[in-house]
Amino acid sequence: MKIIKLDQISNAVIDLITHAASNLSEDVIKSLNNSSDIEISEYGKSVLNKIIKNAEIAKSENRPLCQDTGLAIFFIEIGSDVVVKDGTITEGINQGTRKGYEKAYLRKSTCDPLTRKNMGDNTPAIIHYEFVYGDKLKISYAAKGGGSENMSRIKMMKPSDGIQGIIDFAVETMEIAGPNPCPPNIIGIGIGGNFERSAIIAKKALFRNIGTINPDKELAQIEQTIYNKINKIGTGPMGFGGVCTALAVHIIKEPCHIASMPVAINIECHSHRHESVVL
Amino acid sequence: MDFKKINTPLSEALIATLRTGDEVLISGTIYTARDEAHRRLTLLIAENKQLPFDIKGQIIYYVGPSPAKPGEVIGSAGPTTSYRMDKYAPTLMEHGLKGMIGKGKRSDEVKNAIEKYKAVYFGAIGGAGALIAKSIKSSKIIAYEELLSEAVRELTVEDFPAIVINDIFGGDLYNEGKLKFAGKFK
């Protein structure tokens, strides 16, 4: 049995939020540098260099990389031997979100969907839970901006649409998105599950580090095919034209109903702020 | 690439010299507004009421900055996606707005209004909010304070970096850029 106090969770969340806001992770910086090397468009190269410069300024001056410091998204893995004291994990995460966004001078972006009144503290966080064996609590966080999220799509496809249908849907989604989601983008794809699961696993796919290879060989191949096709669209960095529209394509699949083939495409911007911690 | 230095307010003569793909450095006063502020501004126009600032010749920057830390002018301040303001932008151009700064595609209605009312749409680099903030020298909320980051601000900018997306001649950098590089990835 391992006891974790609510404040420990909250403090860990504050650290994740404040650090991620101004420090782009190594995998993203490396992939931006690679893109800058292969970009043939003058505008595109210039944009990528400014994005890299922005990351340097954000880090050295401790400023948010982007003013859209996102909705706070969490994937939590709770070990079977973990007991939380002084409250629930959800309360701990929301407390950390409230304090972290305030402490680091981050923008509060949650609002009532109808009145549009700002909630004022960036809560509620969006939290997904998984239960695993062991005595650890793993908290993975991403600051997810609205611009890229707005261009994401979901489709209840027919089994007969097959792999080609999935590829076409992903590429079409990026064609429609064009410059809007701040390319170059990371594209998370969820295949299977049901309506809501496909979207959740598409989001989860974004948490995989860029540059890692999908252990499922068939999915790795599909990722490569989609990546190549997206970069052939011509959108380029910020949509000014170029060959770097995708930084990475990540796929997760899950079993689905014999009648269905749900596919969700979750687009993430180049300012891909993601971090995790294990308690 | 050469930059064109331009100052606000924008004259029609200046706008006529701007072409899609021109990189510009903007100096002077600009105003911020996002979704809700646009709804309110166009509502004031519909009711024949005065706007919180004179929009003739001015630029509106689509931005909701992060809060300024003590001693700072503004937090990070990159552009938000422009299409959400498409419903309102033609009305503002009809009443004198000359420039918009944002990111992403505009509707045909907005592009037509840009040609008709002789205005210009500039793109700034999304996700470069820390870099862009360096060109903002002062910031003052002038309306709708309760909208927090979405309040209308008057900004003084110096060499604010942007690029002409839509000009008065029907040019569109997003279409042209895409056409030029489609199929070029190896």
Position B1 scores a pLDDT of 58
Q: Which residues of A fall within a CB distance of 8 Å from B68?
A: 105
Give how far B61 is from chain A: nearest CA, Å: 14
Q: Taking the CA atoms of B101, B106, B110 and B115 in sequence, report the sign of the dihedral they define.
A: positive
Position B171 scores a pLDDT of 98
Please tell me which of the candidates B36, B105, B163 has its beta carbon nearest to residue A240: B163
Determine the Cα–Cα distance for residues A95 and A93; give it in Å rounded to an integer: 5
Determine the Cα–Cα distance for residues B39 and B143; give it in Å rounded to an integer: 13
Q: Which two tokens stand for residue B145?
A: 């304070």
Domain boundaries, chain B: 3-181
User: pTM of this prediction?
Assistant: 0.96
Determine the Cα–Cα distance for residues A255 and A241; give it in Å rounded to an integer: 38
Number of neighbouring beta carbons within 10 Å of residue B148:
17
Please tell me which of the candidates B127, B177, B182 has its beta carbon nearest to residue A240: B177
Strand, helix or coil at A41? coil
What secondary structure does DSSP assign to A79-134, as a single string?
ETTEEEESS-HHHHHHHHHHHHHHHTTPPP--B-TTT--B-SS-PSPEEEEEEESS
CB pairs under 8 A between A and B: 175
Position A100 scores a pLDDT of 98
Task: Tell me which of B164, B178, B180 to substitute to probe the interface with A (most A C-beta atoms closer than 10 Å).
Answer: B178
Beta-bridge mates of residue A240? none
Domain boundaries, chain A: 2-21+65-144, 147-272
E strands along B9-119, which residues? 23-32, 59-61, 99-102
Q: How far apart are the first and last CA of chain B?
A: 26
Q: Which two tokens stand for residue B172?
A: 């569109």
Inter-chain CB proximity B149 and A233 less than 8 Å? no
Strand, helix or coil at A58? helix
Beta-bridge mates of residue B160? B26
For each of chain A's 279 residues, which pLDDT tens digit applies? 999 999 999 999 999 999 999 999 999 999 999 999 999 999 999 999 999 999 999 999 999 999 999 999 999 999 999 999 999 999 999 999 999 999 999 999 999 999 999 999 999 999 999 999 999 999 999 999 999 999 999 999 999 999 999 999 999 999 999 999 999 999 999 999 999 999 999 999 999 999 999 999 999 999 999 999 999 999 999 999 999 999 999 999 999 999 999 999 999 999 999 999 999
Position B2 scores a pLDDT of 79
Residue A199 contacts residue A126 (beta carbons within 8 Å): no
Inter-chain CB proximity A236 and B127 less than 8 Å? no
ipTM: 0.95
Task: Tell me which of A116, A238, A245 to substitute to probe the interface with B (most B C-beta atoms closer than 10 Å).
Answer: A238
Residue B30 contacts residue B135 (beta carbons within 8 Å): no
Residue A34 contacts residue A246 (beta carbons within 8 Å): no
**Contact status of B13 with chain A (Cβ, < 8 Å):** no
Q: Which two tokens stand for residue A175?
A: 């064609």
Q: Where does residue A133 rank: exposed (0-12), middle (13-18), buried (19+ CB within 10 A)?
A: exposed
Give how far A143 is from chain B: nearest CA, Å: 12
Q: Where does residue A29 rank: exposed (0-12), middle (13-18), buried (19+ CB within 10 A)?
A: middle
Q: Which residues of chain B register pLDDT less than 50?
A: none
Q: Which chain B residue lies closest to A62 (C-alpha atoms)?
A: B130
Q: Which residues of B fall within a CB distance of 8 Å from A242?
A: 177, 181
Report the topology of domain B3-181: fumarase (3.20.130)
Q: Which two tokens stand for residue A7?
A: 């404040």
**Contact status of A231 with chain B (Cβ, < 8 Å):** yes
Residues 128-167 of A with CB under 8 A from B: 145-147, 150
**Contact status of B159 with chain A (Cβ, < 8 Å):** no
Determine the Cα–Cα distance for residues B80 and A269; give it in Å rounded to an integer: 12
CA angle B129, B8, A57 (to 5 degrees): 20
